[in-house]
Amino acid sequence: MEITFLGTSSGVPTRSRNVSSVALRLPQRAEVWLFDCGEGTQHQFLRSEIKSSQVRRIFITHMHGDHTFGLMGLIASAGLAGNAQKIDIYGPSGLEEYLHACAKYAYINLGSRLQVHQVSPGLVYEDENFKVSCQLLKHRVPAYGYRVEEKDRPGKFDVEKAKALGIPPGPIYGKLKEGKTITLEDGRIINGAELCGAPETGRKFVYCTDTVFCDAAVELAQDADVLVHEATYAHQDAEMAFDRLHSTSTMAAQVALLAGVKQLIMTHFSPRYTPFGAITLDNLKQEARAIFPQTKLAYDFYTYEVPRRR
């Protein structure tokens, strides 16, 4: 599970930062799950090591343009490149109408490979390995935060122990690796869990933007391995943050602290904070670290591998 930031600016792009988009790579299944898709995201793919052809799911937080204007370009390019892979898109009310309106006036045939799902608080998606849920945050328009949970896996299978018990290799090993109980031809009942090491705890990734500080973000981020949270403003600009329903660096840190997360990565920075200004992004980092020391600042193409729990 690996996170790559494709855009870390808020509102508008800058020379060094594009607008919002985060790619979650799942190497074990050769898939990329995309969170938000601001204008120019497909260009960011070309400048990164992430393959846009592997995008399987896209999760949109809200309908503001700096989070959605790159969708049709990415979808259209995938179609022109002959990418026949199905793409599921999840997001708030109005997303499907927006996509179909864009497709209509740009003469793009979305076909049957694109499926749009309107989300509401609770479970969004689940398969045998992952579960995705969302919560409604606090912004000027309906905005959702997303939580991706990797399901726990059985520990390492002890092949030598299985051989010592006289269990013949083959498909039966696969079932035992999954911790299942099987009955051998000689009548013996074997509990696969007893042939596996300690279970591997699944990792948890949470993405919260755009929002001012709210209880829903804290609830969504509980015990996450990594929380990606917007930090549009510095602490001294808190009044502006409350007016525009965005977060300050200290709000993001407070969410991380209250939720007991392992790592906070802040993103979605206002372009007002430049390297030569009175307030820089390093100041935002210092403000956050005073509350939550395990804080990092995201930048375009920064990649973070979510560590496995021990």
Long-range contacts of 218-223 (CB under 8 A, 24+ apart): 218/255, 218/258, 218/259, 219/135, 219/259, 220/133, 220/134, 220/135, 220/145, 220/146, 220/147, 220/259, 221/145, 221/147, 221/255, 221/256, 221/259, 221/261, 222/259, 222/260, 223/259, 223/260, 223/261
Round to whole Å and give the CA distance between 248 and 91. 25
Pick the catalytic residue from 36, 66, 210, 300: 66
Q: Which residues pair with 118 in a beta bridge?
A: 91
Count Cβ atoms below 10 Å from residue 170 Cβ, excluding itself: 7
237 CB contacts (<8 Å, ≥6 apart)?
248
Q: Is 66 a catalytic residue?
A: yes
310 CB contacts (<8 Å, ≥6 apart)?
none
Round to whole Å and give the CA distance between 63 and 151. 30
Round to whole Å and give the CA distance between 51 and 42. 10
Q: Could you tell me where the beta strands, DSSP code E, fall in 92-220?
A: 114-118, 122-126, 130-136, 144-150, 181-183, 189-191, 204-208
Tell me which residues are annotated as active site.
Answer: 66
